[in-house]
């Protein structure tokens, strides 16, 4: 089992962008949002949002959906460094998932590790540091 990190490539507007992402994915013909979890700023706090259930196959990384959990950080981390609060909440979620599903932190990846056309979770998101922090 792997954990694959993504970013939405959209500005986090402090409103629920998660619903817009869900609609976009469903409009593409998918059964639901492609990610299992999201991290988003809602009003004054970052929150963990649920997409697909963890026991459902995701639609986030072609060729790797059956054996991975997809997490999307709402924001564009090609343009800005992930906010500390989002980073900390992402770590909390990933630590929980690693413990719950017996996932080694060496099995945490960015989407870009599987698709050279992607920058996910963003050029300014240090996946190696994130893994060390887990």
The DSSP result for 20-59, as a single string, is HHHHHHHHTT-SS-S-SEEEEEETTEEEEEE-S-TTS--S
Q: What is the rounded CA–CA span in Å between residue 110 and residue 126?
A: 9
Give me the chain's average pLDDT, please. 93
pLDDT above 70: residue 14: no
Which of 39, 50, 48, 52 lies closest to 12 in space, CA to CA? Answer: 39
For the chain, domain boundaries:
2-133
C-alpha dist (Å) from residue 13 to 16, 18, 20, 67, 124: 8, 11, 12, 31, 19
pLDDT at 13: 62
pLDDT band at 52 (very low <50, low <70, confident <90, very high): very high
pLDDT above 90: residue 12: no
The set of residues, in sequence order, having a beta carbon less than 8 Å from that of 16 and lying 6+ positions away, is 40, 42
Give 2-133's CATH code, choosing from 3.60.110.10, 3.40.640.10, 3.40.80.10, 3.90.1150.10. 3.40.80.10
pLDDT above 60: residue 130: yes
pLDDT above 60: residue 31: yes
pLDDT tens digits for range 87-112: 999 999 999 999 999 999 999 999 99
pLDDT at 15: 55
Q: What is the rounded CA–CA span in Å between residue 59 and residue 65?
A: 6
Q: What is the rounded CA–CA span in Å between residue 96 and residue 108?
A: 13
């Amino acid at each position: 089992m792997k954990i694959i990190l993504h970013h939405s490539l959209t500005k986090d507007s402090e409103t629920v962008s998660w619903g817009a992402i869900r609609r976009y994915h469903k409009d593409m013909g998918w059964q639901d949002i492609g990610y299992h979890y999201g991290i988003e700023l809602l009003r004054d706090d970052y929150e963990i949002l649920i997409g697909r259930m963890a026991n459902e196959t995701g639609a986030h990384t072609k060729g790797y959906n059956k054996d991975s959990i997809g997490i999307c950080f709402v924001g564009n981390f090609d343009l800005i460094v992930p906010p500390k609060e989002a980073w900390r909440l992402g770590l909390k979620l990933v630590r929980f998932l690693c413990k719950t599903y017996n996932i080694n932190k060496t099995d945490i990846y960015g989407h870009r590790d599987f698709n050279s056309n992607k920058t996910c979770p963003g050029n300014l998101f240090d996946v190696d540091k994130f893994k060390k922090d887990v």
